[in-house]
Amino acid sequence: MTTLTLDAEALYANLLAGVRGLLKPGSALVGVWSGGAWLAERLQKDLAGAGLPDRHGVISSALHRDDFGSRGLSATSDATSLPFEIDGRHVLLIDDVLYTGRTTRAVINELFDFGRPASVTLAVLVDRGGRELPIEPAYSAARIALPAAQRLSLERKPDGRFSFQIGEAA
Protein backbone atom coordinates (compact mmCIF):
# COMPACT_ATOMS: atom_id res chain seq x y z
CA MET A 1 0.00 0.00 0.00
CA THR A 2 1.34 3.45 -0.96
CA THR A 3 1.05 6.24 1.58
CA LEU A 4 0.33 9.69 0.21
CA THR A 5 2.41 12.46 1.72
CA LEU A 6 1.98 16.09 0.82
CA ASP A 7 4.40 18.83 1.84
CA ALA A 8 1.99 21.66 2.63
CA GLU A 9 4.79 24.22 2.99
CA ALA A 10 6.25 23.39 -0.44
CA LEU A 11 2.76 23.58 -1.93
CA TYR A 12 2.21 26.94 -0.23
CA ALA A 13 5.36 28.27 -1.95
CA ASN A 14 3.90 27.12 -5.29
CA LEU A 15 0.55 28.73 -4.44
CA LEU A 16 2.28 32.02 -3.60
CA ALA A 17 4.01 32.05 -6.98
CA GLY A 18 0.77 31.15 -8.77
CA VAL A 19 -1.24 33.84 -6.98
CA ARG A 20 1.35 36.48 -7.90
CA GLY A 21 0.61 35.70 -11.54
CA LEU A 22 -3.16 36.05 -11.02
CA LEU A 23 -3.12 39.49 -9.37
CA LYS A 24 -4.65 42.40 -11.30
CA PRO A 25 -4.90 46.06 -10.36
CA GLY A 26 -7.72 46.30 -7.82
CA SER A 27 -7.39 42.68 -6.66
CA ALA A 28 -8.25 41.54 -3.15
CA LEU A 29 -7.70 38.19 -1.45
CA VAL A 30 -10.71 36.41 0.06
CA GLY A 31 -10.11 33.15 1.91
CA VAL A 32 -12.75 30.46 2.31
CA TRP A 33 -13.36 29.68 6.00
CA SER A 34 -11.21 28.07 7.52
CA GLY A 35 -8.21 26.63 5.62
CA GLY A 36 -8.58 29.11 2.78
CA ALA A 37 -8.73 31.96 5.31
CA TRP A 38 -5.44 30.78 6.84
CA LEU A 39 -3.87 30.71 3.38
CA ALA A 40 -5.23 34.16 2.47
CA GLU A 41 -3.90 35.59 5.74
CA ARG A 42 -0.40 34.32 5.02
CA LEU A 43 -0.56 35.28 1.34
CA GLN A 44 -1.61 38.81 2.35
CA LYS A 45 1.59 39.13 4.43
CA ASP A 46 3.81 37.55 1.77
CA LEU A 47 2.37 39.76 -0.98
CA ALA A 48 2.82 43.04 0.90
CA GLY A 49 3.50 45.80 -1.57
CA ALA A 50 1.59 44.08 -4.39
CA GLY A 51 -1.18 46.71 -4.35
CA LEU A 52 -3.66 44.67 -2.29
CA PRO A 53 -5.99 46.25 0.27
CA ASP A 54 -4.59 46.41 3.82
CA ARG A 55 -6.46 43.27 4.89
CA HIS A 56 -7.68 40.05 3.31
CA GLY A 57 -11.31 39.00 3.40
CA VAL A 58 -12.81 35.84 4.85
CA ILE A 59 -15.96 34.21 3.53
CA SER A 60 -18.17 31.46 4.89
CA SER A 61 -20.28 29.03 2.91
CA ALA A 62 -22.66 28.29 5.82
CA LEU A 63 -25.67 30.35 4.69
CA HIS A 64 -25.61 29.21 1.05
CA ARG A 65 -24.84 25.50 1.34
CA ASP A 66 -27.11 23.12 -0.56
CA ASP A 67 -26.96 20.71 2.41
CA PHE A 68 -28.10 23.33 4.92
CA GLY A 69 -31.20 21.27 5.78
CA SER A 70 -29.14 18.29 6.91
CA ARG A 71 -26.19 20.18 8.44
CA GLY A 72 -27.95 23.13 10.03
CA LEU A 73 -26.28 26.42 10.86
CA SER A 74 -22.72 25.98 12.04
CA ALA A 75 -20.70 28.25 14.28
CA THR A 76 -18.96 29.66 11.18
CA SER A 77 -22.11 31.44 9.97
CA ASP A 78 -20.68 34.78 11.08
CA ALA A 79 -17.20 34.11 9.65
CA THR A 80 -17.70 36.32 6.58
CA SER A 81 -15.67 39.51 6.89
CA LEU A 82 -15.00 41.60 3.81
CA PRO A 83 -13.13 44.76 4.89
CA PHE A 84 -13.28 46.37 1.43
CA GLU A 85 -15.85 47.12 -1.26
CA ILE A 86 -16.74 44.17 -3.48
CA ASP A 87 -18.32 46.17 -6.32
CA GLY A 88 -15.90 46.38 -9.23
CA ARG A 89 -13.15 44.52 -7.36
CA HIS A 90 -11.13 41.62 -8.81
CA VAL A 91 -11.59 38.98 -6.12
CA LEU A 92 -9.02 36.24 -5.80
CA LEU A 93 -10.83 33.48 -3.93
CA ILE A 94 -8.42 31.24 -1.99
CA ASP A 95 -9.25 27.75 -0.71
CA ASP A 96 -7.22 24.90 0.72
CA VAL A 97 -8.82 21.83 -0.90
CA LEU A 98 -11.17 21.79 -3.88
CA TYR A 99 -13.30 18.68 -4.12
CA THR A 100 -16.94 18.70 -5.31
CA GLY A 101 -17.17 22.45 -6.00
CA ARG A 102 -20.20 22.88 -3.74
CA THR A 103 -18.39 25.03 -1.17
CA THR A 104 -17.05 27.23 -3.96
CA ARG A 105 -20.57 27.69 -5.36
CA ALA A 106 -21.85 28.60 -1.90
CA VAL A 107 -19.13 31.19 -1.21
CA ILE A 108 -19.63 32.79 -4.62
CA ASN A 109 -23.31 33.18 -3.75
CA GLU A 110 -22.29 34.73 -0.41
CA LEU A 111 -19.83 37.04 -2.16
CA PHE A 112 -22.52 38.38 -4.47
CA ASP A 113 -24.66 39.21 -1.43
CA PHE A 114 -22.04 41.92 -0.77
CA GLY A 115 -21.83 43.36 -4.28
CA ARG A 116 -20.88 42.68 -7.86
CA PRO A 117 -17.17 42.00 -8.32
CA ALA A 118 -15.42 42.74 -11.62
CA SER A 119 -14.19 39.13 -11.58
CA VAL A 120 -13.80 36.13 -9.29
CA THR A 121 -10.77 33.90 -9.75
CA LEU A 122 -10.23 30.70 -7.77
CA ALA A 123 -6.82 29.52 -6.56
CA VAL A 124 -6.43 26.42 -4.39
CA LEU A 125 -3.65 24.62 -2.60
CA VAL A 126 -4.87 21.15 -3.65
CA ASP A 127 -7.38 20.06 -6.29
CA ARG A 128 -8.43 16.52 -5.42
CA GLY A 129 -10.83 16.07 -8.35
CA GLY A 130 -14.29 14.59 -7.83
CA ARG A 131 -16.17 17.63 -9.07
CA GLU A 132 -19.97 17.61 -8.95
CA LEU A 133 -20.28 21.14 -10.39
CA PRO A 134 -18.53 22.80 -13.35
CA ILE A 135 -15.98 24.67 -11.23
CA GLU A 136 -12.25 24.68 -11.95
CA PRO A 137 -9.47 26.67 -10.29
CA ALA A 138 -7.37 29.12 -12.29
CA TYR A 139 -4.44 27.82 -10.26
CA SER A 140 -3.82 24.79 -8.05
CA ALA A 141 -0.50 24.02 -6.40
CA ALA A 142 -1.20 20.28 -6.69
CA ARG A 143 -3.70 17.89 -8.24
CA ILE A 144 -4.21 14.55 -6.55
CA ALA A 145 -6.72 11.72 -6.56
CA LEU A 146 -8.17 10.45 -3.30
CA PRO A 147 -10.94 7.92 -2.75
CA ALA A 148 -14.26 9.51 -1.78
CA ALA A 149 -13.98 7.78 1.62
CA GLN A 150 -10.90 9.87 2.48
CA ARG A 151 -10.75 13.45 3.67
CA LEU A 152 -7.84 15.83 3.15
CA SER A 153 -7.62 18.63 5.72
CA LEU A 154 -5.19 21.52 6.01
CA GLU A 155 -3.92 22.16 9.52
CA ARG A 156 -2.13 25.24 10.84
CA LYS A 157 0.45 24.76 13.56
CA PRO A 158 0.93 27.36 16.32
CA ASP A 159 3.99 28.73 14.48
CA GLY A 160 1.83 29.36 11.37
CA ARG A 161 3.26 26.51 9.28
CA PHE A 162 0.89 24.29 7.35
CA SER A 163 0.51 20.52 7.23
CA PHE A 164 -2.06 18.06 5.91
CA GLN A 165 -4.09 15.44 7.68
CA ILE A 166 -5.54 12.56 5.66
CA GLY A 167 -8.34 10.67 7.34
CA GLU A 168 -11.69 9.02 6.84
CA ALA A 169 -14.53 11.23 5.56
CA ALA A 170 -17.28 11.89 8.06
40-56, pLDDT tens digit by residue? 999 999 999 999 999 99
On whether the pTM is more than 0.85, the answer is yes
In this structure, the number of other CB atoms found within 10 A of the CB of residue 44 comes to 20
The order of strands in the sheet holding 57-59 is 57-59, 27-32, 90-98, 119-127, 139-143
Mean pLDDT, the chain, whole residue set: 91
Which pLDDT does position 1 carry in this prediction? 45
Task: Determine whether domain 18-168 maps to CATH 3.40.50.2020.
Answer: yes
Domain boundaries, given as residue ranges, for the chain: 18-168
What sign does the CA torsion over 4, 127, 102, 90 have?
positive
Confidence band of 28 (pLDDT split at 50, 70, 90): very high
pLDDT in tens, 81-134: 999 999 999 999 999 999 999 999 999 999 999 999 999 999 999 999 999 999
pLDDT, tens digit, 9 for 90 and up, residues 65-85: 666 555 455 554 468 999 999
- CA distances (Å), origin 159, targets 45, 57, 120: 15, 22, 31
